[in-house]
Amino acid sequence: MRVIHHRREILVYLNGKRYLYLGNIKLEGKKVGLRVGDGKSAFSSFSIRPLNLEKEYELNGEKLRVEVPLLVQPLESFKIKIRHRGEKPLNFILCDANGFEYLRGTLRKGINDLNIRAFGALGTHKLKIKDKRGKVIEVPFEVDANSQIETESGLWDQLFSNLRETIKKDRFLFTIDGKTVAMNPSWLRDHIHEMKGYKWWEEDVRSALDHFLKIQHPEGFFYEMIIPPNDPHTTFVDSKYRIIDEKNNLAYVRLEMEADIEYLMG
Would residue 150 count as lying in a domain? no
- Which carries the bigger pLDDT value, residue 77 or residue 54? 77
Q: Share the mean pLDDT of the chain.
A: 83
The whole-number average pLDDT for the span 71-77 is 88
Q: Dihedral through CA 35, CA 38, CA 41, CA 47, nearest 10?
A: 10
Residue 137 to residue 91: CA distance in whole angstroms: 11
pTM across the whole model: 0.56
pLDDT for residue 28: 62
Q: 86-98, pLDDT tens digit by residue?
A: 888 899 999 999 9
Domain boundary among 143, 177, 198: 143
Residue 252 and residue 169 share a domain: yes
Would residue 107 count as lying in a domain? yes
The whole-number average pLDDT for the span 213-237 is 93
Residue 92 and residue 21 share a domain: no
Would residue 220 count as lying in a domain? yes
pLDDT for residue 194: 93
Residue 255 to residue 238: CA distance in whole angstroms: 9
| Res. 193 pLDDT band, cuts 50 70 90 | very high
Would residue 153 count as lying in a domain? no
Would residue 123 count as lying in a domain? yes
Q: 96-148, pLDDT tens digit by residue?
A: 999 999 999 999 989 999 999 999 999 899 999 998 888 899 999 989 887 77
Q: Which domain holds residue 17?
A: 2-47
Would residue 199 count as lying in a domain? yes
Strands of 150-211, DSSP E: 172-176, 179-183
| Res. 150 pLDDT band, cuts 50 70 90 | confident
